[in-house]
């Protein structure tokens, strides 16, 4: 059973989400405070954290940053903050999805189900590039650069996975959003650009002149140069 942690100070929202997700067969735990959520996360293995940004003790952004220091767990942010800058900040902190309140519990549940369907696809292949400078282990979701394991968020790894397993194929931003986040994703095109920028900082020797994840002007991205 996949466990989900809800960190949400509005108990009515938390109760509704819990009911929907438990009906789908997930183990669901909830708390109203950020630090209580961190403590619970350290005791129990979670596959997903649903995180409100407006918490009574510490901000959801702080919780996200703390979780990213200790885990690559998937994080769905819930917030009333809806500006483009807020969304980009959330993605840069390591969130995988950013849902603006009010939202449909049915939609969130559908996105959770889509996430776990993707995670349960087992790919045992490992690929090595540039004489071992870059290594991608699909089964264990591990990426190494020059022998050193690097930390990618779940969505960042999924982007690397899609592009590298289709080397040379050009994907539009819309293609990647559909493959990574699902066809019903209601975000914005720059979501992919933010993730790509962060990935390049981690795997490219020169992020301004990438050799792995390459921009195809006015179209999108592909893996590998000409």
Note the pLDDT tens digit of each residue in 105-150: 998 998 898 888 776 654 557 788 887 899 998 878 899 999 999 9
Tell whether 104 and 168 lie within a shared domain: no
Domain count, the chain: 2
Residue 202 has pLDDT above 90, yes or no: yes
Q: Give the whole-angstrom CA distance, residue 137 versus residue 161.
A: 9
Instruction: Give the pLDDT score at 94.
Output: 79
Tell whether 48 and 23 lie within a shared domain: yes
Instruction: Give the pLDDT score at 63.
Output: 93
CATH of the domain at 151: 1.10.10.10
Q: What is the mean pLDDT of residues 16-22?
A: 93
CATH of the domain at 105: 3.40.50.2300
Tell whether 48 and 87 lie within a shared domain: yes
Residue 206 has pLDDT above 60, yes or no: yes
Domain termination site, one of 77, 104, 119 = 119
Instruction: Give the pLDDT score at 131.
Output: 79
Tell whether 60 and 131 lie within a shared domain: no
Tell whether 95 and 164 lie within a shared domain: no
Residue 185 has pLDDT above 70, yes or no: no
Q: Give the whole-angstrom CA distance, residue 114 versus residue 116.
A: 6
Q: Give the whole-angstrom CA distance, residue 155 versus residue 181.
A: 8
Domain termination site, one of 55, 90, 119 = 119
13 lies in which domain range?
A: 3-119
Q: Give the whole-angstrom CA distance, residue 154 versus residue 176.
A: 14
């Amino acid at each position: 059973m996949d466990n989900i942690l809800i960190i949400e100070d509005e108990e009515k929202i938390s109760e509704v989400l819990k009911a929907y997700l438990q009906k789908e067969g997930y183990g669901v735990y909830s708390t109203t405070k950020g630090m209580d959520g961190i403590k619970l996360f350290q005791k129990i293995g979670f596959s997903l954290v649903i995180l409100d940004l407006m918490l009574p003790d510490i901000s959801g952004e702080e919780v996200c940053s703390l979780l990213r220091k200790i885990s690559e767990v998937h994080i769905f942010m819930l917030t009333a903050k809806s500006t483009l800058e807020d969304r980009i900040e959330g993605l840069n902190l390591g969130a995988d999805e950013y849902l603006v309140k009010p939202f449909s519990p049915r939609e969130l549940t559908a996105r959770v189900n889509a996430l776990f369907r993707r995670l349960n696809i087992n790919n045992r292949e490992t690929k090595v590039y540039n004489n071992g400078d870059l290594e991608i282990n699909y089964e264990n979701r591990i990426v190494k650069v020059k022998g050193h394991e690097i930390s990618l968020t779940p969505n960042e790894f999924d982007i690397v996975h899609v592009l590298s397993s289709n080397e040379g194929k050009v994907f539009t931003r819309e293609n990647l959003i559909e493959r990574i986040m699902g066809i019903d994703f209601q975000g914005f095109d720059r979501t992919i650009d933010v993730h790509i920028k962060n990935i390049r900082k981690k795997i490219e020797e020169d992020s301004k002149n990438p050799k792995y994840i390459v921009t195809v002007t006015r179209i999108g991205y592909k893996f590998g140069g000409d």
